[in-house]
Amino acid sequence: MAIGRNQPCPCGSNKKFKHCCANTVAAQQSHTARAKASPASRSQTDSSCYLPTDTGLWVRVPDSLELITPYVLREQRHWFEKEVNFVKTVLSPGEMVLDIGANYGLYALDIAQIIGKEGHL
């Protein structure tokens, strides 16, 4: 199910999709991937949503304000723990990183942006 250009943006900005996130590459890729997925591959009870981060990436999380990750991402658009900023300061392009215990991939997404195509995650 693709998001129409005139529908509200899923990021929660209260703007039309075409005036908000439609032009970002990450948004286009995530919405295209969802649109191409066959109905059989999606659960009828799938209540997940895509939320934008402050780095321009989109994360798929459960659509529930009762869980901490979706709540924080909706409110702040980034993860609040100090470790995220520490990780960002010690990494450089081309490095090899092992991320163990990823939940929704917030650390992995930031790490991948930093280490780039030359790096390994």
Predicted TM-score (pTM) above 0.85: no
pLDDT at 50: 86
pLDDT in tens, 1-55: 566 778 787 776 777 777 777 665 454 555 555 544 544 444 445 688 888 888 8
Any idea which of 11-15, 51-55, 76-80, 109-113 has the lowest mean pLDDT? 11-15
Q: Which helix (H) or strand (E) holds 113?
A: helix 106-115
